[in-house]
A and B are shown apart, each in its own frame.
Chain A
Amino acid sequence: MEHQYPTTIKARELPMARSMCWHCQSEVTGEYLCGQCVKVQPLSKDLDYFACFQLPRLLNIDEQQLEQTFYELSRTFHPDFYSTKDESEKAISLGNSAFLNAGYRTLKDPIQRAEYLIRLEAGAVKDIRSNPPADLFEEVLELQEDLEIFRQLVPKGASPELEALREKLQGERERLEKRQAEMEESLKGQFKQWDQVQSRTPLPGDAREEKNSILRAMQEILSNRTYVRNMVNDLLETTG
């Protein structure tokens, strides 16, 4: 498939190039089906989702192209097309399809896409803090206390106390939802920054420091966002 990115990006497809067909031992050069015996080939263990979908490691991706590639590869790998084939081919089709489906799901969602990218590049980003900052942590604790009181009040039936707390919690929820939206907005800014640097310097070693600092910033927003989102969900579930 043709794509509009610089040729250097193609370097990432290399992990799946050149191997031997498991069936007829002829050389397979990156295709999914052997040129000689047309048997389906297992995807390389080193293949990442971006390479599988022939996408550069960018965070704003062409969703149309992602879907189109997903459909095309599904037509190549799906077990429905191997039900009359032998057991080895069935197993390869099953494994490839499972990988493809997981890749599509991950790349389709911007948050999962970013988390995946950070994991892929993680070798360089060791010192990522996974605890929430003190202020957020305190908020979480406070909310948990209020939620606990609310849960205890509910079985006792309607009361002014319960209503006041419900109102307070709903206000908290709206505030947190706003905060989550702000985080997602600033994440978008980071995505843009990443894509600019990555397009300018596509090789893994290029501009490593600059890239790492963006990855770190994204990781921080992402993990804080997880706390905020969990709180929002808890609030939604408890106060309706």
Chain B
Amino acid sequence: MSRIVGIDLGTTNSLIAFMDKEGPHVIPGPDGQNKVPSIVGLTDNGMIVGEPAKAHLIRDPSHTIYSVKRFMGKGLADVKDDLKYFPYQLHEKNGVIRIEIGDKTFSPPQVSAMILKELKRRAEEYLKEDISKAVVTVPAYFNDSQRQATKDAGMIAGLEILRIINEPTAASLAYGLQKKTQGLIAIYDLGGGTFDISILKLKDGIFEVLATNGDTHLGGDDFDQLLVDVMVDDIFQTQGLKVGENPDLMQTIRLEAERVKIRLSDETQTRAVIELPNSTYEKVWTRESMETLTMGLVERTLAPCRLALKDAGLTASQIDEVVLVGGNTRMPLVWRKVEELFGKKPHSELNPDEVVALGAAVQADILGGHTTDLLLLDVTPLSLGIETMGGVMSALIRRNTTIPTSAKEMFTTYVDGQTSVDIHILQGERELVKDNRSLARFQLKLPPLPAGVPRVEVNFLIDANGILQVTARDIRTGEAQSVQVKPSHGLTDDEVEGMVRDSFQFATEDIKARQIIEARNEANAIIVATEKALGRAANLIHEKETESIRQILRQLGEVKDGDDHRAIRAKIAEVEKTTHHLAEVLMDATLKEALESKKLSDVIK
């Protein structure tokens, strides 16, 4: 049984973790960083992901995709209010958002797949083994389409997602394992783009989710945006500069806003500094001013908390522990508001950025059959139903029902000889179809019989991933009937298959991008080292030799800016050959100096 990893696929950052005998661990990258920024950049030579893409965001924002999680499982109409915040073009095809950058078009699952692949590569390098199976976390309040889109992303990345688990419940697993907590706990999870609250009962290794609620459209990004709006307005007022027309500058301001927010968690005041084309903008932010600005956002998280408590049949005072998860809970304002609501001090002993990935690794270990004493019983966050007469939704499965769960519904005909019934599946809490989320439609085939005679039983099953499976059975014949469900905001199987194929093609391009970056770095290092050596050997070699070395260095300098990593490598080899004599001369000189009893440390310098 190959190893299963745990992945936190976040709006802002993503992490990958595994579990061994000592417990769960986050896997660091070659740079020692645990977090991979969830950013993808398109360069002339392919895609780059993570930290390099973050740098790319400032240089070339219109070719850089961030916060793609906000688009998962959605149509264009769902995000129309956000469009102004994103520097790239979006359109919709078959109900799914498509992102245009350069001459390429990607669906959100494809972009997420690039991030997953980067994480997978990290884990493979670190663990020295192939990784093909994973547990991936999603916000608890994600609907079926968003979960399905996450699963598609896994498939495109060549990862089998064995289980999708909810972020707050993942966090509870990490905590429960660490602290042996028992009793009623509330997990308040304010991440980069989403907010979740989950109420759990922990008893003898069982983690039973009693209720969950949230807002998939409220997170740290929104806090940053408020600061950005103020700064953009300031810059216009004081400098007359319209930032909106300058996407590069907009990204610089966005990153500075994020830094200001982060600094104000530890300090009571800080200075925002932004280089403008002809001047510098500075503004002192106090914690107080930021708190006044963002109070409304924090208060928006409290209503879902109250609803979750109500659904769990509990009052705030009955909660034994309140745990904070997600980077944005570092804000002192969040602590205060949460404490006010629950009447007790929240805590966050585990790193709020990493606890979700750690919990995912614990769940991976449970699925792998290694951890057998823990069991997570999660719920479906939203009611599931079908459209009935008059555009009304009839709920079949209520929100906060423990999953897996199923509901059966019998269908028949109203007209003699009718051969099909259209079924529209919905998710949401509102009465009318139009106010709820359309998940999918399908057509039930019926034998041509007198009205009311055909009887087909449809089983709506929500599996342990929170994803709907529909099956149908003809009651008269007892035969199972295949159901072709067409998702309202999801990729079809064919599309996903096509994207899996494409991803191999992209992978080739991306390898090229990485090879160029590596060759270029090496060329730069060699140029610097050779120049230095030439300086030291000025009197030791012939002027003609110096000139020929300089010439080849110039050539390398030209080649390295090109896109041909083989040419760069070839030129590097040529430089090495040409400098062979220089190296020998320097070595001899060094030895001689050493023999003249100079201090060895001086020589090596």
B566 to chain A, nearest CB (A): 44
Which parts of B228-247 form the interface with A (CB within 8 Å)?
none
- In the assembly, what is the distance between CA of A138 and CA of B163, in Å? 52
Q: Is the CB of A94 within 8 A of B461?
A: yes
Q: Tell me the bound Cα distance from A101 to B380 in angstroms.
A: 12
Stretch among B95-103, B364-372, B481-489, B575-583 lining the A interface? B364-372
Contact between A101 and B376, CB atoms less than 8 A apart: no
A80 and B464 within 8 A (CB) = yes
Whether, in the assembled complex, B405 has its beta carbon less than 8 Å from a beta carbon of chain A, the answer is: yes
A84 on the B face (CB < 8 A): yes
Q: Is A83 in contact with B403, judged by CB distance below 8 angstroms?
A: no
B162 touching A83, Cβ below 8 Å: yes
How many chain A residues touch B (Cβ–Cβ < 8 Å)?
17
Min Cβ gap B204→A in Å is 7
- The proximity string for B residues 203-215 relative to A, scoring 1 for CB distances below 8 Å and 0 otherwise, is 1101010000000
- The answer to whether A84 touches B402, judged by C-beta atoms less than 8 angstroms apart, is no
Contact B1 A84 (CB under 8 A): yes
Residues in A whose Cβ lies below 8 Å from that of B375: 74-75, 78, 80-81
For residues 458 through 510 of chain B, which have their beta carbon under 8 Å from a beta carbon of chain A? 461, 463-464
**Residue A56 at the B interface, CB < 8 A?**
no
| Residue ID in chain B nearest A75 by CB atoms | B375
User: Contact between B402 and A104 (Cβ–Cβ < 8 Å)?
Assistant: yes
A29 to chain B, nearest CB (A): 26
Whether A101 lies near B369 (C-beta < 8 A) is no
Q: Are B461 and A98 in contact (CB under 8 A)?
A: yes
Chain B's closest residue to A83 (CB) is: B367
Q: Mark A72-107, 1 if CB is under 8 A from B, else 0.
A: 001100111101100000000011011001101100
Name A176-190 residues within 8 Å CB distance of B: none
> Given A71-B206, A74-B206, is A79 in contact with B401 using a C-beta cutoff of 8 Å?
no
B557 proximal to A (CB < 8 A): no
* B404 at interface, CB cutoff 8 A: yes
B366/A105 in contact, CB under 8 A: no
- The answer to whether B463 and A94 touch across the interface, beta carbons within 8 angstroms, is yes
Q: Closest B-chain residue to A80, C-beta based?
A: B366
In B319-361, the 8 Å CB interface with A consists of none
Q: Decide if B294 is an interface residue (CB 8 Å cutoff).
A: no
Contacting residues, chain B, for A71 (C-beta < 8 A): 203-204, 206, 208
* Closest partner residue, chain B, to A67 (CB atom): B203
Report chain B residues within 8 Å CB of A84: 1, 367-369
- Residues facing A in B365-413 (CB within 8 A) are 366-369, 372, 375-377, 401-406
Report A-chain residues with C-beta under 8 Å of the C-beta of B405. Answer: 98, 101-102
Chain A residues, Cβ within 8 Å of B162: 83
A78: which of B203, B368, B377, B406 is its contact (CB, 8 Å)?
A: B377
Q: How far is the CB of B255 from chain A (nearest CB, A)?
A: 40
B368 touches A101 (CB 8 A): no
CB distance from B313 to the nearest CB of A (A): 9
Residues A101 and B206 in contact in the complex (CB < 8 Å), given A83-B367, A94-B461: no
Kindly state the separation between the CA atoms of A175 and B515 in the bound complex, as whole angstroms: 76
Please judge, given known A-B contacts A71-B206, A74-B206, whether A79 and B404 are in contact too, CB under 8 Å: yes
CB-CB under 8 A for A98 and B406, given A74-B206, A80-B375, A105-B401: yes
Task: Tell me, in angstroms, the Cα distance from A94 to B462 when the chains sit together.
Answer: 10
Contacts of A105 in B (CB 8 A): 401-402
Q: Least Cβ distance of B246 to chain A in Å?
A: 44
Q: Distance (Å) between the CB of A65 and the closest chain B CB?
A: 14
CB of B404 within 8 A of CB of A98, answer yes
In the complex the two chains form, is A101's CB within 8 Å of B402's CB? yes
Closest Cβ–Cβ distance, residue B151 to chain A (whole Å) = 15
Given A98-B405, A102-B406, A83 contacting B163 (CB threshold 8 A): yes
Contacts of A75 in B (CB 8 A): 206, 375
In the complex, residue of chain B having the shortest beta-carbon distance to the beta carbon of A85: B369
Contact between A80 and B367, CB atoms less than 8 A apart: yes
In angstroms, Cα B372 to Cα A94, docked, is 18
Q: Chain B contacts of A80 at CB under 8 A?
A: 163, 363, 366-367, 375-376, 464
Give the docked Cα–Cα distance between A83 and B367 (Å): 6
B463's partner among A79, A102, A104 (CB-CB below 8 A) is A79
**Using an 8 Å CB-CB cutoff, how does the interface string of B123-147 with A read, 1 for contact, 0 for none?**
0000000000000000000000000
- How far, in angstroms, from A79 to B461 measured CA to CA in the complex? 13
A84 CA to B366 CA, complexed, in Å: 11
Complex Cα spacing A101 to B206, Å: 14
CA distance A80 to B135 in the complex (A): 11
Q: CB within 8 Å of B: which of A94-135?
A: 94-95, 97-98, 101-102, 104-105
CB–CB B369/A97 < 8 A: no
Q: Establish whether residues A101 and B367, one from each chain, have CB atoms under 8 Å apart when the complex forms.
A: no
A235 to nearest B CB, angstroms?
16
Given A101-B403, A101-B405, 5 other A-B residues pairs in contact with their CB atoms under 8 A: A74-B377, A78-B464, A80-B163, A80-B376, A81-B369
A–B pairs, 29, beta carbons within 8 Å: A71-B203, A71-B208, A74-B375, A75-B206, A75-B375, A78-B375, A78-B377, A78-B464, A79-B404, A80-B363, A80-B366, A80-B367, A80-B376, A81-B366, A81-B369, A81-B375, A83-B367, A84-B368, A84-B369, A94-B463, A95-B406, A98-B404, A98-B405, A101-B402, A101-B403, A101-B405, A102-B406, A105-B401, A105-B402
